[in-house]
Amino acid sequence: LPGRVRFRAMPRAAASARAIIQAVENLPGVAATRFNSAARSLVIDFDPAITDVARLTSNLQALRLPAGTGHFKPAGPPGREAMAVLACAALLLATRHLPASWRTSTTLIASWPLLGEALDDLIHRGISSHVLEAMAVGISVARNDHLAANATLFMLAFGEYLENSISRRSDDLLKNLLRPDIGQVWVEEEGVERLVDAAEVPVGATVIVGAGATIPVDGTVLGGEALVNEAAMTGEGLPQTRGRGDAVLSGTVVEEGRLRIYAEHVGRKTAAARIADYVEQSLTVKSEAQLAASHLADRLVPAVLGLAGASMLLSGDWRRAAAVLQADYSCALKLATPVAFKSAMFAAGKNGILIKGASALERLAEADTFVFDKTGTLTTGRLSVTDSLTFDPEYSATDLIDLAASVEEHYFHPLALAVVEAARQHHGGNFRHFDHREVEFIAAHGVASVVDGRRIVVGSRHFVEEDEGIPIDAAQRAMIDRLFAEGKTLLYIGFGGRLLGAIALEDRVRAASAATVARLRRLGVRKVLMLTGDHRARAAELAAELGLDDFAAELLPDDKAVLVAHMKEAGGKIAFVGDGINDAPALAGAHVGIAMQSGADIARLTADIALLEDGIERVADALELARNTMRLIDTNFKLTVGANSAILAAAALGALSPVTASVLHNGSTIAILFNALRGGQASLVSPSGRARRADGTDYRRMAAAGQPS
């Protein structure tokens, strides 16, 4: 195609693919490359103004690749495989009508690509499935059984066409997760809006996104309100209302409204760009199951050749040998496993679970112990007001929250956002504003202003009591200490030189946490634990509420990684779920690490699995998908071995002709590949993005209603 060409690539090892890609991407005019290990092809996108197919071919052949990497052959036009199928079909239909003197020559011409590929494999890789196939065709031609030879060529061409199509489809499923280049975006600078390239948007910029536009950055809404379609990133079918303080993801689309967004992640660090990186990784990283299947397939090729030789020697019938050579384990074993993994990863990514390669999915399926961080994982990570203590009878508890919110609404901080939200809830959307002068922000302490001529300060105890010199008497201290002992975060309000009151905030337990823990147990998890730096009393209360097996509290950041290491040494397959910077060592040290959607950059980078949707139920979804995928792979493995062993036995005993053996072998291989592709079709969630059981039960709705799952 214009600006695109496909080459046949013959790497001698899985690691060679990356070396090939790196070498090719440095060639003049090459824009992008993609290597398909199953189809053994390299797709190159290039700039026609700089290079062309002839120059690329010459440059590829002249590449000085590392020893043992492999080589290239032009793959012909995109329809080559389909044309080969049609040509072989035409030859098969015409076999009986051709003059006898033409039959051998036409069959040899048609089989020339197969013979050439078999010779190439024999020289560079040893005995392979292509060598067996070429021997089967060669035996039929030598016996003047041209019908069997041509039928074999047709079935091989048709089987290869379908196998490569299925393999490409599994790649395409994953590549559907890639977001298109957004191009130019509007950025606000000193009150003026201007268009800039998306690649030039810096962290901290104010990005303006209107109706119909794709959000180009990950960030937080500074102002405006809009309906945002997040289906592409989270799987949620219904547009979500997003306003000030809400997080938004790149790749999502504003359907109605207009947003001003503070850019926190730009360019290659956005969620959409990370998906692209993960997809590229997933197309090259092999799992243990995939490597084992490939290794077994290679080991069985000589056994098939030996069986063909033995059946011929014992029976003296070349037809038996030709029939045995038609069937081998290679195609189904080597292709079905990666297709199943890629299809499952597509299903996961489409529904808000980003899995970094087949190996991560495999390790998740093995996990028998789940360890959760508390804050931001089992809890929402978003504070909400629980208590309002006022020490002045002139001010009610609601007045205290309104007063604090009046100055806090100008401050972009979780505590401030929680107080403003509480004030709005008390008044049905708006709240009583106290007139004040310009707000002063004191970093890491709080805010200050002037209301009715008196100084108001809202912030930490250190800020109010020590920096501002506001005294706290014994009675006030006792009430405050009671809230602190309950594990709550306290915000102090000083007004006119005295302590007016305190507001207590708490991180709420996620509605779906208990249901997720119960579901993990039903999926076969032996233990569910919690690690936290929080107070022991609050941790014990939460562990009992969620039905956890055990917990560890008041931990330092490094303690989590140490405890995970000890559990691994004791033989546990640990899945660690966290979101903070302090969770990164534990995420890296676990058997498999899972990072929450709202987690820190280093947590998402370190984890094997990253959630794109802020829902803890996705952890159980991921485990269920991983277990189902491994069961599917195991089923396909047994089907492959069973079907091909039966075909080989029947062929060796003379019960199958070469043509029948070819039809049965290729047919069973294609059926197994379609079964493997089923992993990408059977999603764990409904189209609306709601997590459901096989019987249609909606987990989120149940969790919100407090029902057991």
Using DSSP's 3-state secondary structure scheme, residue 191 falls into coil
- Rounded Cα distance, 578 and 597, in Å: 10
Q: Is the separation of the CB atoms in 153 and 137 below 8 Å?
A: yes
Q: Is the separation of the CB atoms in 260 and 213 below 8 Å?
A: no
Q: Ramachandran region of residue 600, left (φ > 0), alpha (ψ -120 to 50) or beta? A: beta
Using DSSP's 3-state secondary structure scheme, residue 385 falls into strand
Give me 70's structure tokens: 């492999």
* Side chain identity at residue 232, one-letter code: A
**Locate tokens 């009715």: which residue?**
452
Of 237, 247, 706, the residue nearest 513 (C-alpha)? 706
C-alpha gyration radius of the chain: 32
- Rounded Cα distance, 18 and 280, in Å: 11
- Rounded Cα distance, 676 and 685, in Å: 19
- Rounded Cα distance, 596 and 578, in Å: 6
Give one DSSP letter per residue of 113-152, joined into a string: HHHHHHHHHHHHT-S-HHHHHHHHHHHHHHTT-HHHHHHH
The tally of CA atoms less than 13 A away on the side-chain side of residue 197 is 4
- Is residue 373 part of the annotated active site? The answer reads yes
Residues 6+ apart with CB under 8 A from 607: 356, 578, 587, 593, 594, 595, 599
Q: What does the CA dihedral 231, 232, 235, 238 come to, rounded to 10 degrees? A: 0
Q: Is the separation of the CB atoms in 152 and 325 below 8 Å?
A: no
Q: Is the separation of the CB atoms in 282 and 175 below 8 Å?
A: no
Q: Is the separation of the CB atoms in 619 and 577 below 8 Å?
A: yes
Give me 242's structure tokens: 């997003």
- Rounded Cα distance, 44 and 165, in Å: 18
Q: Is the separation of the CB atoms in 500 and 395 below 8 Å?
A: yes
Give me 517's structure tokens: 């823990």
Give me 347's structure tokens: 């299903």
- Rounded Cα distance, 159 and 36, in Å: 17
Residues 6+ apart with CB under 8 A from 318: 139, 142, 143, 312
Residues 6+ apart with CB under 8 A from 631: none
Using DSSP's 3-state secondary structure scheme, residue 430 falls into coil
Strand partners, 240: 228
653-658: list long-range contacts, CB under 8 Å, 24+ apart. Answer: 653/311, 653/320, 654/311, 654/315, 654/317, 654/319, 654/320, 654/323, 656/323, 657/148, 657/319, 657/323, 658/136, 658/140, 658/145, 658/148, 658/151, 658/152, 658/319, 658/322, 658/323, 658/326
The residue annotated as part of the active site, out of 171, 218, 298, 373, is 373
Helix boundaries (H) for 193-327: 231-234, 271-282, 288-315, 318-326
Q: Is the separation of the CB atoms in 369 and 529 below 8 Å?
A: yes
Q: Is the separation of the CB atoms in 507 and 383 below 8 Å?
A: yes
Of 225, 191, 189, 220, the residue nearest 210 (C-alpha)? 225
Q: Catalytic residues, which ones?
A: 373
